[in-house]
Structure 1
Amino acid sequence: MSNAVSNELENQIISNIDDLKSQPEAQSIIELSDTESIHYDGRHYDLIYDNFYPFSNLAKIDIPFWTDMVSQYGEPVLELCCGTGRIAFPLAEKGLQVTGIDISDSMLGEARKKSDRVEWIKADVCDFDLGKQFSLIIFSLNSIYHLLRIEDLESCFNCVKKHLKPDGKFIIDMLNYYTKPTIEAMWSPLPTLYSVYPDPDGRGTMVVTVVNELDVSAQIAKSKLFFRLIEQKKEFVEETKLRLYHPNEMGNLLKYNGFIIETQLGGYDKAAFTSGAPNYIAICKLGQ
């Protein structure tokens, strides 16, 4: 948890969560529609992951890795699903040529506030044509999991191939959800504290809890995120979905779609990938 969250506040959070769960749902829970989102509101998104409970440094831990990848493989750089610019912004601040694409106006709105050195473009990663090629195209932490269907993934790969220079690199980074500790931690039916952050509208402290569910046959992770201001009794719930590609599956999909995997890493320390590694990072080039 962020250092800004005191033990006293944490105890208050736990107390409020327990109190909330004891109340009838109809009195305290408001389900957001498919067109509404707190999680993907750019103003909330950065705050959620700046104060992400399991790993308080999640928002910064991979920046040195991506900086090194650019130093090795060159620029210009294209980031897919750039969001609010967490990766693109620090790369551009080093004077690198960076383009970021995302489908969300809200995310891009926050990204544009951070930097005018990045070329921010609204586009669908499954269907884009930027009219130029890149030395490095990156899919940073878990972004590829938003592509729920194999057809979407393959459409994305086709766009990547059109935009990658002949000697360019394509890098995918995703958490390895198929380790025993992760499975045991992630798929508990009990609500887990997810984030605590100051509400961007100044209404107090927002507490986020999560309940995860895995559809094994479809490899779809469903997360119900519960958003609640400590000072209020009502709670908003939002469901998000991710398609958890297995590392071996992703490796095969890359090969079948015309990429050659040069290196498979298990984390930002660049150790080789193993079945127990925390991440699966594939560094690829175009096939012949």
Structure 2
Amino acid sequence: MTSSIPPSQNGFYPDGGLNVASYDLRAELDRKLFDDPLPFYRDWAIRAGGPVLELGCGTGRIAGEIARHGIDVEGLDLSGAMLAQARRHYPDLTWHQADMCDFDLGCRFALVIIPFRGLQEVTTAAGQRAALSRAFAHLKPGGRLVFDLIDPDLRYCLPEGDAEIVQLPLFPMPAGVGEPDSRLRITAMERSNTPLTQQFCEHWRFEELSPEGKILRREDNWHHMRWVHRAEMALMLEICGFVSISEYSGFNQEAPCYAANQVWVATRPA
């Protein structure tokens, strides 16, 4: 019998869920199919020299790469399940479980980063501005904030949403999860939009399949995010006190381009 977790009992990163267990597998696929953000953030960390704070650090993949180059780095995330992965993979690093909109670590950093569109996980404009303010407060004078977002393609932000279903390639089940020889099927289901608040919700389905293709376990997760227009983000950064604000459309500092990535670099005044 297929087991299923009701959405009312399930956040997007539930403890013990297939989503969290497979996060690094999906991130590696993204790196192969799209722009790879890891070298970009690593190089900024090397340039800053540390210490570095990563907000929305998830399983710690970027912080771990930064640490591998001898740079002091700490990570902060709201999800205890994701941080459990980070602590298991990188036990020597410092991890904080906190809300990026409301935290105080009592220290300052040369660089604060928010990779993988982490700021869009904050689903209100007030919350996003609060997160930027917290980042500003944790920067040393002259320190930089570096982060990326999705630049919204307005064709896909209409009230009717997007009913398209996309199935990712089958993944091997992560070590220690599921039955022997089972596989993981991940499907991006429908997307709903609320243009008034610039919020969208993506329905994701995670299924453990037996070698014969039988569904052994199913999880449905809903990913709530908020899109941000370039002019809006530039204004938020200015209001929060940042200067020398630069924007790009990719991790090689490409010129701003509609419906591409938003990559931002902003400085706390010296």
TM-score band by shorter chain is 0.7 to 0.9
Is 1:208 the equivalent of 2:208? no
- Given that 1:49 and 1:58 are in contact with CA atoms closer than 8 Å, whether structure 2 keeps it comes out as no
Structure 1 residues 191, 282: closer, same or farther in 2, change over 3 A? same
Percent identity over the alignment is 24
Structure 1 residues without counterparts, runs of 5 or longer: 1-26
* Distance (Å, rounded) in 2 between the aligned partners of 1:54 and 1:86: 14
- Given that 1:176 and 1:279 are in contact with CA atoms closer than 8 Å, whether structure 2 keeps it comes out as yes
* Distance (Å, rounded) in 1 between the aligned partners of 2:76 and 2:203: 26
* Distance (Å, rounded) in 2 between the aligned partners of 1:141 and 1:44: 16
Is 1:286 the equivalent of 2:268? yes
Structure 1 residues 37, 99: closer, same or farther in 2, change over 3 A? same
* Distance (Å, rounded) in 1 between the aligned partners of 2:27 and 2:227: 20
Q: How does 1:135-146 map to 2 (within 5 A)?
A: 135-146=110-121
| Alignment-mate amino acid for residue 262 of structure 2 | Y
* Distance (Å, rounded) in 2 between the aligned partners of 1:270 and 1:70: 16
Q: How does 1:138-157 map to 2 (within 5 A)?
A: 138-157=113-132
CA displacement 1:205-245 (0-9 Å, x = unmatched): 12121222222222111111122223227643221210111
* Distance (Å, rounded) in 2 between the aligned partners of 1:287 and 1:195: 46
- Given that 2:148 and 2:262 are in contact with CA atoms closer than 8 Å, whether structure 1 keeps it comes out as yes
Is 1:256 the equivalent of 2:239? yes
* Distance (Å, rounded) in 2 between the aligned partners of 1:222 and 1:152: 17
* Distance (Å, rounded) in 1 between the aligned partners of 2:140 and 2:21: 32
**Greater mean alpha carbon deviation, residues 94-103 or residues 147-156:** 147-156
* 1:175 CA displacement: 1.9
Report how many residues are paired: 258
* 1:74 CA displacement: 2.7
* Distance (Å, rounded) in 1 between the aligned partners of 2:67 and 2:24: 21
* 2:201 paired residue number: 222
- Given that 1:50 and 1:58 are in contact with CA atoms closer than 8 Å, whether structure 2 keeps it comes out as no
* 1:236 paired residue number: 219
CA displacement 1:37-93 (0-9 Å, x = unmatched): 464547743624524698462699211111111222331000001010021011111
| Alignment-mate amino acid for residue 171 of structure 2 | Y
Is 1:191 the equivalent of 2:170? no
TM-score, structure 2 length as denominator? 0.84
* 2:40 paired residue number: 65
TM-score, structure 1 length as denominator? 0.79
SS state of the match for residue 7, structure 2?
coil
Is 1:120 the equivalent of 2:95? yes
* Distance (Å, rounded) in 1 between the aligned partners of 2:126 and 2:42: 31
